[in-house]
């Protein structure tokens, strides 16, 4: 014990932080890490902060999980953040002592491969790569079982938290909307299959949005869409039928017949359209398409519940409403869209749970968590999206 205490002291400025996990996607880097309750002191004798489960000899740490994000194209900001918080020294810790190597960190997403050398060179961090789909599933399962409330429905302006029965969670469809979209059938804790996906995702929204409007960021584009009217851009059934419904096949006159179809017959330039209308139309096109393909895959495997995650959603009401309506419309009310409060961090949390083999025995969230997390990526914002109280049970190695 003497050795570990010495180590602790020498690391006093960062010894309170541990278990860093990264999910490096095509557009965003998501981090999750744990901090002990007290930032400056190490209180072995304080039952609330560090305790020992005498029956199992496991160490229990109370603290918080931190959720942080950066744009992948601004990876240097991420490196600086890690460096300033001394997070690059905080891979796996057992009993406050670095285990297999102080700089081995769980990482997932394509960037765990692409940027492995960069993290090694700049921060001396070695990635222990974990499969992306595995992390998404583990992250979703963890959130659904541990954080309350985590899942909710959103329709017609109404958010409703959903109580998840742990014995009746599987099977479900997990749809992760990042730059692209992955659809995973989840049958159990570690039983899953990526059954589909689409390239029309968050990257399409921002990529096309940047080209079509003056917006530079996802948040700006989303904000813009609030004030927009998609009917100025989309060809509706009523536009084709002269204001009538196509009643024989149940298409209302307000249904979109062709996204961006109104532009075809108008003799206008891009500048003649309001960017807010363009943004709204784009968001609707993409959300609706994801909702439809998700439903078709849920139907294929008889799944009634579809959980949507990924940073595309960002608690944005119009996005969720469109996805919910799409799922309801195509399933005739048979399937349900559910959303996750920590939607953007499924992969990173999943990677964090993979420290299990390194002594992380259990993670629990003791308190009811409320409010939406900060999903914004505005320059001036803190990169920390959220923190939640958490208790970590560590098994001596």
- Contact positions toward a second copy, by CB under 8 A? 25-27, 71-73, 109-111, 113-115, 131-133, 178-180, 194, 196, 198-204, 206-208, 210-212, 233-235, 237, 239-244, 246, 248-249, 256-266, 270, 273, 278, 285, 288-289, 292-293, 296-297, 299-300, 330
Which residue's CB is nearer to a second copy, number 30 or number 102? 30
**DSSP-derived secondary structure letter, 109:** S
Look at residues 149, 155, 195, 156 and name the one whose alpha carbon lies nearest to residue 172: 195
Residue 186 and residue 194 in contact, taking contact as beta carbons nearer than 8 Å? no
What is the CB neighbour count within 10 angstroms for residue 28? 24
Which residue's CB is nearer to a second copy, number 33 or number 330? 330
Which residue's CB is nearer to a second copy, number 113 or number 161? 113
Which residue's CB is nearer to a second copy, number 246 or number 318? 246
Cis peptide before 369 (omega within 30 of 0): no
**CA-to-CA dists, residue 89 to 82, 240, 242, 393, angstroms:** 9, 62, 66, 20
**DSSP-derived secondary structure letter, 112:** H
**72 is written with which tokens?**
């992948």
Which residue's CB is nearer to a second copy, number 28 or number 68? 28
**DSSP-derived secondary structure letter, 25:** -
Distance of alpha carbon 347 from alpha carbon 151, whole angstroms: 16
Backbone φ, ψ for residue 30 (5° rounding): -115, 135
Find the shortest distance in angstroms from Cβ 380 to a second copy.
19
Which residue's CB is nearer to a second copy, number 74 or number 86? 74
Find the shortest distance in angstroms from Cβ 318 to a second copy.
16
**223 is written with which tokens?**
């904000």
**DSSP-derived secondary structure letter, 37:** S
Distance of alpha carbon 123 from alpha carbon 173, whole angstroms: 37
Residue 135 and residue 182 in contact, taking contact as beta carbons nearer than 8 Å? no
Question: Which residues does 35 contact at the CB level (< 8 Å), separation at least 6?
Answer: 16, 17, 18, 63, 64, 66, 387
Find the shortest distance in angstroms from Cβ 24 to a second copy.
9
Helices first, then strands: H and E counts in the chain: 12, 19
Question: Which residues does 276 contact at the CB level (< 8 Å), separation at least 6?
Answer: 224, 225, 226, 227, 228, 229
Termini Cα distance of the chain: 14
Find the shortest distance in angstroms from Cβ 144 to a second copy.
22
Which residue's CB is nearer to a second copy, number 124 or number 266? 266
Which residue's CB is nearer to a second copy, number 19 or number 354? 354
Find the shortest distance in angstroms from Cβ 289 to a second copy.
6
Distance of alpha carbon 289 from alpha carbon 296, whole angstroms: 11
Which residue's CB is nearer to a second copy, number 8 or number 210? 210
Give the position of tokens 């709204």. Answer: 280
Which residue's CB is nearer to a second copy, number 41 or number 216? 216
């Amino acid at each position: 014990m003497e050795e570990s205490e010495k180590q602790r002291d020498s690391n006093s400025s960062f010894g309170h932080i541990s278990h860093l996990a990264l999910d490096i996607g095509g557009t965003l880097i998501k981090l999750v890490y744990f901090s002990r309750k007290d930032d400056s002191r190490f209180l072995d004798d304080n039952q609330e902060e560090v305790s020992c489960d005498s029956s199992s000899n496991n160490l229990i740490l109370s603290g918080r999980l931190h959720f942080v994000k950066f744009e992948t194209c601004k990876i240097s900001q991420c490196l600086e953040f890690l460096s300033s918080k001394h997070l690059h020294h905080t891979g796996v810790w057992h009993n406050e002592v670095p285990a297999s190597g102080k700089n081995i960190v769980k990482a997932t997403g394509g960037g765990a491969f692409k940027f492995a050398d960069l993290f090694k060179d700049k921060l001396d961090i070695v990635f222990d790569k974990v499969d992306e789909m595995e992390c998404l599933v583990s992250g979703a399962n963890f959130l659904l079982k541990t954080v309350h409330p985590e899942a909710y429905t959103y329709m017609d302006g109404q958010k409703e938290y959903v109580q998840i029965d742990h014995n009746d969670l599987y099977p479900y469809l997990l749809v992760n909307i990042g730059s692209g979209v992955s659809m995973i059938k989840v049958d159990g804790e570690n039983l899953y299959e990526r059954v589909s996906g689409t390239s029309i995702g968050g990257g399409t929204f921002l990529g096309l949005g940047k080209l079509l409007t003056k917006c530079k960021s996802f948040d700006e584009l989303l904000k813009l869409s609030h004030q927009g009217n998609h009917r100025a851009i989309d060809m509706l059934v009523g536009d084709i039928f002269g204001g009538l419904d196509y009643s024989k096949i149940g298409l209302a006159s307000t249904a979109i017949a062709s996204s961006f179809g109104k532009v075809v017959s108008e003799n206008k330039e891009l500048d003649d359209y309001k960017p807010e209308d363009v943004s709204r139309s784009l968001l609707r096109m993409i959300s609706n398409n994801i909702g439809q393909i998700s439903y078709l895959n849920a139907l294929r495997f008889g799944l009634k519940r579809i959980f949507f995650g990924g940073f595309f959603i960002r608690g944005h009401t119009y996005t969720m409403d469109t996805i919910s309506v799409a799922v309801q419309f195509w399933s005739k009310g048979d399937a349900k869209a559910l959303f996750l409060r920590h939607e953007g961090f499924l992969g990173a949390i999943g990677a964090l749970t993979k420290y299990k083999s390194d002594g992380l025995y259990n993670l629990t969230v003791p308190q009811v968590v409320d409010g939406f997390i900060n999903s914004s990526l505005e320059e001036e914002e803190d990169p920390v999206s959220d923190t939640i109280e958490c208790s970590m049970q560590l098994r001596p190695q």
